[in-house]
Amino acid sequence: MATPLILMEPKTVKKLGVVTKVYEEVGRINATVKSYGGTEVVRDGVLQVLDTIEVTTWFDPRIKADCRLVNPYDGTAWSVMGRPEDVELRHVYMKFKCQRTEGEHGG
Of 14-23, 53-62, 94-103, least confident by mean pLDDT is 94-103
pLDDT tens digits, one per residue of 66-93 = 999 999 999 999 999 999 999 999 999 9
User: Rounded mean pLDDT of 29-52?
Assistant: 87
Number of domain units in the chain:
1
pTM of the predicted model as reported, rounded to 2 decimal places? 0.82
- Please determine, for residue 58, whether its predicted confidence score (pLDDT) is greater than 70: yes
pLDDT value, residue 104: 53
pLDDT value, residue 105: 46
Q: Which residues contact 11 (CB under 8 A, 6 or more apart)?
A: 21, 22, 23, 24
* Residue 80 domain boundaries: 3-105
C-alpha 12 chain-centroid distance: 18
Question: Which CATH number fits the domain that encloses residue 30?
Answer: 2.40.10.270
